[in-house]
Every structure is written in C-alpha cells, then in structure tokens.
Structure 1
Amino acid sequence: MTDPEVQADSAPTPQRFEYERTDEYSRYFLYSRSEVLSVLRTLIQKGALITVHFDHGKSFLLTSMLAFTEEGNDFILDIGANREMNQKALLADKLFLTAVVDKVKIQFSIDGLSAAEHLGRPAMRGSLPDAVLRLQRREFFRLSTPIANPVIVSAVIRLPDGSAENVDLPLFDISGGGVGLMVSQETAAKLEKGDILTECRIALPEEGLVVANLAVRNKFDVTTRSGAQFVRTGCEFVDIPPSRLNRVRRYITRVERERKARLSGLG
C-alpha cells in the first residue's frame, strides 16, 4: 500500500496539466499502442511513484502501477493509504496521472478507475490511455532560485478600479514554462487565476533582462521553517519569444551546472 496520503484540500485551486495543452506540447505526445505500452511498462519496472489527480486537480493521491491485466487492455494501480481518498478517486470521472522516470515527465489521463484485486490485495483498475505525454526534463525542470539574494520580477498589477500597482516580487523558482513567485498575502489577494501580468521584467544574473507576459495559474500558502508566511504564485510564460526563452534556459543550465560543481567540490 502506497504511503503517504495527501488531504483533498492540499491544492486549493484547479490545476491545468501539460497533457491538456496539446497545441503547446504536441511533439511530445505518443499515440501508438506499442509506444504507450512501452512507457507504462517502464513505470511498472521502475516502481515509479505516480500522482493521481482528480476533482479538477484539487485532490490527489500517491500510488504506483503494479501490472497489466491478462487481456492487456487495462492496468492495475496500488491503492493509497487513505480509504476516503481512494473512494473519491474511484468516483471521479476524469483523472490525470503524472510521474517522473529518469528525469522525464510522464503524463496521461483516464476516464475512471474501478475497484480491483491484485495478488489477493485491494487495488484499482484503469483502461490503457489513448495517448501519453512524454516530456523531456529540460521543458519542465524547475530551478529553485537563491532566497538570500533573490532574482526579482518587476510587474504591474491592474486593479479592479482601473488603477495600477508596481510591485517587485522575488522569484521562488523558474523553468522554461514559467516562474514561481514569492508573494505577500496582501499582494496575492490582488491576483486571480487567469490574470495576465504584462511586460514583466526579470533580471537574470549574467544573462540580462528578460521581458515577458505572465499568466497566473495557481496560488499556494507556504510557511518557511522560520515561520514566515507567503503565497507561492505559479505563473506561466505567455507567447514568450524563442530568443528570450533561450536566455531563461541558459540561466537555468548555468546555475544548475555551478551548483553541481560546488557539490562535487565539497565531495
């Protein structure tokens, strides 16, 4: 039985998955049955930890794929440790499954799960997906930025009364798809899911200024070890030109390489 379990209200806002963004990630989709089976077989062989999202991404549980059925049309998942969450997953009519294997994100959706048994133990059964998203690490890897000397994003928040507020927001992390911002609760209250922050200015050390539009995708309350509280606000790049995206990727690659070099030196 997979453990630990996550409460249903851990993700307070609906989540949009890469799997749903077929236009943006079309080149990473696999459709042939042999390719789909190959990816799922890897999940089984590696014992990969799988996150099953449902209730529009607001609820999820952790599991692993155990086997294919004898007919080969379905797969078997382990159940989670929380009976209530298992029941909610079995009642869900749309579920998204995500995993990371060898630094590659695997993602697919199914239309439901049913109760099953595997080797005499309770399990869940799902139909093989029609497609699988296999997303290379460089497309989704998030680099945590320094907290002591943070990278700053300068943005303009448009308020309901038509006025504007200039804010400087520290980066929490950054990837080729967007950024996570460290936002005060007061400022976070002014940001709604779907809001577009235009012409945001991100000063990347040694790479220069990147100007981009950011779409607010989610917000999560975070408490640090010191007790400080902030709202991690996830934002997605919107129509960012390739030249600017390459600058972001160079920054991520360089900082990650420097971190590995420091760790190697300590070893």
Structure 2
Amino acid sequence: MSQMALLSPSELDDDRYRVSGTRSVQFMLTGFIKERDQFTVFFGGNANDMYLTTLLAVDADDERLIFDISGSSDINRRLQNADRLTFAGKPGGIRVQFQTPAPSLVAYQGDKAFSVALPKSLMRVQRREYFRVHTPRGKPLMFDFKLPDGSPLSLPIYDLSVAGIGLNAETVPPSLDAPGIKLGRGKFFLPEDPREFDIEIVLRRIAEIENRSGSKVFRIGLQFIGLSFGEEGRIQRYIDRLERERRELM
C-alpha cells in the first residue's frame, strides 16, 4: 500500500463516511480484528515512514487499540517518536482510515506490541460503483422472499454485490409491477458461510433478456436496505473468492 491509498481531503471532510462514538468505533475495530484485516500505518513525511500491520485487540476498559509491531527496529523506534499515526486499509473491499496519537510499547500474549488510544472516529468510504459478480451456474444460489400479496417465491441468483442482487425468472409475477416496491425481507445463504442473510429488499428493475437459444428470461434487480457492516464484509469476501478462483482458471 502506498500514499495513494490515503483518502483525499474531500473524502475526509465528508461526514457521510464518518463513524463516530466509542461503541460504534469499538464494534468496527473488533470486526477487523476478528477477520484479521491488515492496515498500513503511516507515521511520517516520507515514503519509508510506513509498514503493514495487523490489529490485535481492543481494550474496551482502557479504550486502547493494540496492534502488531514492525519487524524493523528502526521503524519501531521512529514510530514511537511520531506525533500521530494514520491507519489505512481496505477490509471487505471498503476503504477505512483513522488516526491515533503516538503509540506506546506493551506486552501482548507474550510478545511485544504497540498500544494507542482508540480513535474518536474513523472514515469508511464505499463507492456507489459497486462491483457485481456473476454467481456459479452449475449449482445456483437461491434467494427466498415474499411477493406483495404474501405468497413465497424462490428464484436463482444471477449476480450479487453489496448493493443488491439480481435474480433469474422465467415469468414475472403480476404483483411485481413497478420499481420501488418494498418486498419485506429476503433470505439466502452463501457457500461456506453457515449464517443466513436476512435482508430488507426493494424492487429496482425488471429486464427481459434473450438467451443464446432464443428463449426469453427475466432479470429481477433487488436493492439491499440496511445491510450491516458485517454482512457487507461477508458478501465482499465471497465476491473476492469467486474472482480469485476465476483468475486461477485463466
């Protein structure tokens, strides 16, 4: 990661991206720790004043964040003399950045580590240009939801992003007659993830598509509402895994 990974001044000034409050900040940092997400720590004015680290623990009682030291004694020495630190990472494909005061050296689980005061807030920037991935066709994932009249419907998932989901349908129920219809909650599972997604959804589009065989199918686009940070991360990790597997086959 380089200086180019840092957020721009306009992004840092945009309160839409700011997560504030002790409990909210602790919750997010704990999630990064659980997933072992890595961050780059910037602490000076030149290109060598940085290193890649892993967040280790949140001490909620003392309001401290513990993170791994560098393998370089020179970097560790200069880090302790810095006025402030900037952490930048991309957990779950979402850009995160926060600042802290200078660290102190502590013992953590028998090893050396750094400890800093918890940040008062952090920036979490996710673009509107969400990356969408096509899901496997051989054994399609299924999405279950209810139509406006209350009848259940289960359709195969065509594509997926953290913003919403695309479904395949041979016919479109008459009750799906206009974009913007709230459909309550939809449910689905991702491979190798035992936790069910249960998410509020809104109908956004219906498109008629002609297959190579000449037959017609419909694509139903649904938007996720109120997706949690953790759910976004789970979906993004699935997308990253699919893309990695596809690159390996090329």
Which has the larger Rg?
2
TM-score normalised according to structure 2 size: 0.48
TM-score w.r.t. length of structure 1: 0.45
